[in-house]
Amino acid sequence: MDFQLTEEQREFKALLRTFVDKEIVPVAREWEQTGRYPTEIVAGMADMGLFGITVPEEYGGLDLDPVAFALVFEEIARGWMGIAGILGSHSLACRLIAMHGTPDQKQRYLPGLATGERRTGIGLTEPDAGTDLQGIRTTARLDGDHYVVNGSKMWITNARYADPLPVLVKTDPSASPAHRGMSVLLIEADTPGYQVTKDIPKLGYKGTESCEIHLDDVRVHKDQLVGGVEGIGMQQVLSALEWGRVNIAARSVGIAQRAHDEALAYAQERHAFGKPIADFQAIQLKLGELGTQVQAARLMAYWAADAVRAGRADGATGMAKIFCSEVALQAAIDSMKVHGGYGYSTEFEVERLYRDAILMSIGEGTNDILRTVVAKSLIKGETRVG
């Protein structure tokens, strides 16, 4: 068993770390607190080609392997998890189009998406349908050469920049089971009736917008149906979300690593009773546990990413997302405890890490739902422990 990154992956991680330390870390706290959109950081990511990490090389992308993909989100989330969100939703949508789009759809959209000239997200969640995607109510009725789309979407990352936005709809609301009547349409931002109505206020996950979208008699040409076939939208989305769970696991590792770094540095700087608090056994116990859990989470994330490379990996990605997200939250809490009262202050990084970590157990499927996914994978023999 080889637990080492390849030389190419190590060099790529070093490049990412330099970018994050130079362009993100110095401004993250101030920009997050003032609500400033990270325009310059987005431009820097575009210059590095990061908007093309899931785009095939023939369309100008980097087409990263899943482990290198995880490295991107680990490093960026270490600097500012919200920035990773900008890239995350975009990358999942690109992956969906690359895997399932028609040749015309790929040629039309992927080159611009790879450079960041175009941006995108993914329109799944609705006011009454989150983890239960089969419960969506947005419909698309075929009228001649166009689908007429009506409904709404919630919590859509990159909504104000997405063009096009892949939107999950019901092309046959009467289908049973419901997923057989679900499809994905690529809706362009200037389509009449398509409206981003508001930004949703959030506890954390700032830096990127999360919006509500209304679709009122939006006419979408049938050529915008992903893959050109109705009724397979759920399968298309789930195949992209497999990478999404690696994304969340890796972001969680980034948060946990930063929490560890902040706790370790503070424990050596802060003095009490005439010596650094790092000399006290109670602090050492926290630091030892924190470091152990971060490294375990990292290995779990890379293992899941490698499982995706090898084939379908619902169980592995579910395990990694569950474990890494819970390590991230506990790491943030333990780091706050090491900081004492200062951990509760917005003048220190750790309170932001805490707010961002909470989302990791919710996004890309709640951890409790994913536990059932993992269990079913184990029962079917698709995932093995040991």
Q: Determine the average pLDDT of the residues in 92-104.
A: 97
| Per-residue model confidence (pLDDT) at position 96 | 97
Q: Which CATH number fits domain 7-115: 1.10.540.10, 2.20.25.90, 2.60.40.10, 2.60.40.3680?
A: 1.10.540.10
| Averaged pLDDT for residues 128-146 | 93
Name the segment(s) of the chain with CATH classification 1.20.140.10. 235-380
- Confidence (pLDDT) at 255: 98
Count of CA atoms in the C-beta half-sphere (13 A) of 371: 8
DSSP 47-107: HTTGGGTTS-GGGT-----HHHHHHHHHHHHHH-HHHHHHHHHHHHHHHHHHHH--HHHHH
CATH of domain 133-230: 2.40.110.10
Region 290-313: mean pLDDT is 93
CB 252 within 8 A of CB 360: yes
Residue 112 parent element (H or E)? helix 103-115
Whole-structure pTM value: 0.95
pLDDT digits 0-9 by tens, 250-293: 999 999 999 999 999 999 999 999 999 999 999 999 999 999 99
**Cα distance between residue 246 and residue 52, in whole Å:** 17
Per-residue pLDDT tens digits for 326-372: 999 999 999 999 999 999 999 999 999 999 999 999 988 899 999 99
Cα distance between residue 341 and residue 347, in whole Å = 11
Look at residue 364 in the predicted model and tell me its pLDDT: 87
Which tokens is 263 given? 């706790």
Q: What is the mean pLDDT of residues 81-85?
A: 96
- Predicted local distance difference test score (pLDDT) of residue 339: 97
What percentage of the chain carries pLDDT values higher than 90?
Answer: 92
| Set 23, 30, 364, 382: catalytic member | 364
Q: Is 364 a catalytic residue?
A: yes
pLDDT at residue 1 in the model: 58
140-167 per-position pLDDT tens digit? 999 999 999 999 999 999 999 999 999 9
Start-end of CATH 2.40.110.10 domains in the chain? 133-230
Please check the confidence at residue 227 and state whether its pLDDT lies above 70: yes
- Topology at the third CATH level for domain 235-380: Butyryl-CoA Dehydrogenase, subunit A; domain 3 (1.20.140)
Separation between Cα atoms, residue 111 and residue 146, nearest integer Å: 25
CATH 1.10.540.10 occupies which residues in the chain?
7-115
